Structure 1
């Protein structure tokens, strides 16, 4: 398994040193709250790992950029939760539920500003290229979120469109975090691109794996409601492949299932799983996941560094691809 204790502890120690103002409390208390809901903090760790890969001595210089990525990620979660009307985040009330929508919007904005403050504490000669990657990534994440919301209103979404949406919404932040670490380490643009591509392809595979686990994962270890995407009529990779391959008769059944919630159709998840099995959808989804996983490994292998120095990244990839099965 991926041993992230060193990177995680560095980030946690720095977060403990963060001193947000006391007033106005409705602006800064939500920041303290969302950052206290400790997730895996994979994204900020990737900044440190990207720096360490090419020049271990620069990892300490990457801490501020690492926090910038963590702040940005949590800013996006605060706003995403409002848009999704989500009641819980990491098992706790979301910011907009604990306070209200207006507080959540404004505190999220403040956290984004704090991300830029942290980024500007990076080595001065690295700030310009860091900002270029950070801004590009941040805008792409917004594009991905908008596409995701747009897809909710559409009856037809292609596989290509879906892959591009999850690349933007989820994956570019993994790639961008790694590239920011590589920038701080001072490596070449070619190496930066290889590391970025590793992160993006790993991120796509991670989301496809998430789609699969949502239906077929172990409820004891998955951490979310199994079948939740089916109940919410989410257009996941499994749904898209089913709609592409189903007969006209089964498309009619699919349409009926989409119009019913679990109260009207208690067997909705089971009936959808039966359709998935009929067209061997799990195998098709796994094939796509493994395709992007293989590309990620190829990009990491191609980076001209000793394999031992890449071991933490290989461990991370393996852990993400074999979780909660």
Structure 2
């Protein structure tokens, strides 16, 4: 798809803009009372656990300063874990500890940090430094996902994830997000991660972009980005579809990782998923969403 064309041409090709997403899909199909279920990652975890949807294990939650000192002995015993804000976005405030070395905590990038660094991060999280609106927040400490071997040469430091757009219970578009040095290992397109469009039927890659520019190889590893096939694809789509059932959100994004031992795990959900997935797929969301809306016209 040529993206340097007129807005009229893009609309004809089914490319959806932010206004259309917000007014026609988010505003129409997502009840406001359901937003807290996905905006708060702790609530998402509890909801998923109740519904039997697998997620990384919750190790600790911290909401008060005194709790940081209380869990210090437990932190010192953990070999690997992830810290994230419950109301964070864009990958901010996330710390991935991949191993320990002589008392130090080793990040997925190889950088070493000490316990004081971790305690300082927890303090910043609960004070609201990374939360939407700057309000006080909860810190989540959860188990580390073990990257599936298929992705070992395709991502830098962090764990790749798959964003699936789900509309009225139907997975309609998917994208694999690969960390890079530019994104500090985070699977965040705005920070320089790679987006690989995925054929929703087969789970196979259809093209890759970084900062909206096409790629054929990973810029850091040199690994080719063609021929990617996502393992456990049907299970992953089933997991994504169930997220509609448990939240009541008609239009949402599901971020899923594939653990080497546990298979697909839900990381989080988003009631206002971004539109960069269209660029990665070289295809617009509009026609697919309209096709699903049209199913109502033929329902018995």
TM-score of the superposition, structure 2-length normalised? 0.29
Q: Which has the larger radius of gyration?
A: 1
Higher strand share: 2
TM-score of the superposition, structure 1-length normalised? 0.27
